[in-house]
Amino acid sequence: MLLGVNIDHIAVLREARKINDPNPLDALSICKLSGADQITIHLREDRRHIHDNDAKAIIEQSNLPVNLECSINEDIIDIVCKLKPFRATLVPENRDEVTTEGGLDLEKNFDRINETIEKLKKHEIEVSLFIDPTTKSVELSNMLEADFIELHTGTFANVYAMLYSNLSNTHHTIKELELSKEELKNKLDKSLENLKNASNFASNLGLKVAAGHGLNYQNIDLICQIPEIIELNIGQSIIARSVFTGLSKAITDMKELISK
């Protein structure tokens, strides 16, 4: 299983003070030496963490492939085409969200996404689509000739956290999941089934399948049991753990769990 380490969350810490440390660039060699297979960053329209100069320096200096997540906003896509990352992952963005809440609406934005993919491919950038685990989204990704899909695991991760961590007792933003244990268990089974079915369907169509969002040291085992998923992009939990263990140990711990 390949591991993409999302280093946005290092820049989140820097932006809390709006100064120059911690510098996400310093993570590059540690990620490589600790067994990461890819660097993932998200150049958000509001630049809440990674900035243009971070993205430029990371792409120039990384000795791992860089997966640059971005919206389909034209200005952003122009920047991405100039930066030429190894891969661009198109994601939905919403100004008010705390984090990416779901996958792309491929049906509504089909033509714009199609044009965006063509443009990125002309610049020799591999394209992935961040989608919800549904048959419709996989079918549309295939029609759009994406190279990769990344299945949004947020629902699975949120339900898992409500059931098996103390999330439900803390200040959190996932109010719609304040359900009974039985309802949560049903929702967890359903979210896993959706991920399994979407992965299997996509792989049969020849699409490469990644997954990510909200994955952590506790919930990762269930996702690793889905054979068609070949890559995981993980950020928040690795950077959070690194505060206590150091980044290298946080990455090797995760790599060990996903390589079993």
Ligand X SMILES: CC(=O)[C@@H](O)[C@H](O)COP(=O)(O)O
Ligand Y SMILES: NCC(=O)COP(=O)(O)O
User: So which residues are the catalytic ones?
Assistant: 42, 69, 213
Query: Residue 106's closest CA among 70, 142, 73, 76?
Result: 142
6 binds ligand Y (CB under 6 A): yes
Q: Coil, strand or helix: which one is 52?
A: helix
Residue holding tokens 């959706």?
194
CA distances in angstroms from 65 to 2, 39, 56, listed in the order given:
12, 6, 13
Q: Coil, strand or helix: which one is 134?
A: coil
- Minimal distance, residue 157 CB to ligand Y, in Å: 7
User: 154 near 160, Cβ under 8 Å?
Assistant: no
Question: Which DSSP helix (H) or strand (E) runs through 200?
Answer: helix 181-204
Binding residues vs ligand X (CB under 6 A): 6, 8, 42, 44, 69, 91, 99-100, 130, 212-213, 235
233 binds ligand Y (CB under 6 A): yes
Number of residues in contact with ligand Y under rule CB under 6 A: 12
49 binds ligand Y (CB under 6 A): no
- Minimal distance, residue 39 CB to ligand X, in Å: 12
Identity of the residue, 62 or 233, whose beta carbon is nearer to ligand Y in the bound complex: 233
85 binds ligand Y (CB under 6 A): no
- Minimal distance, residue 211 CB to ligand X, in Å: 11
Pairing between β-strand 208-212 and β-strand 148-152 as defined by DSSP bridges: parallel
Nearest-angstrom CA–CA distance, 145 and 118: 9
Nearest-angstrom CA–CA distance, 208 and 230: 7
User: 59 near 51, Cβ under 8 Å?
Assistant: no
Which entry of ligand X, ligand Y, none binds 214, CB below 5 to 8 A by partner kind? ligand Y
User: 195 near 226, Cβ under 8 Å?
Assistant: yes
Q: Which of 68, 234, 251, 254 binds ligand Y (CB under 6 A)?
A: 234
Residues in the chain, how many? Answer: 260
Q: Which of 73, 236, 248, 252 binds ligand Y (CB under 6 A)?
A: 236
Q: Nearest residue to ligand Y, using CB?
A: 235
Identity of the residue, 44 or 187, whose beta carbon is nearer to ligand Y in the bound complex: 44
215 binds ligand Y (CB under 6 A): yes
- Minimal distance, residue 233 CB to ligand Y, in Å: 4
Which entry of ligand X, ligand Y, none binds 258, CB below 5 to 8 A by partner kind? none
Identity of the residue, 202 or 214, whose beta carbon is nearer to ligand X in the bound complex: 214
Identity of the residue, 8 or 228, whose beta carbon is nearer to ligand X in the bound complex: 8
User: 25 near 60, Cβ under 8 Å?
Assistant: no
Restricting to residues 118-177, which ones interact with ligand Y according to CB under 6 A? 150
Question: Which DSSP helix (H) or strand (E) runs through 247?
Answer: helix 247-258
User: 12 near 42, Cβ under 8 Å?
Assistant: no
219 binds ligand Y (CB under 6 A): no
Contact positions toward ligand Y, by CB under 6 A?
6, 40, 150, 212-215, 233-237
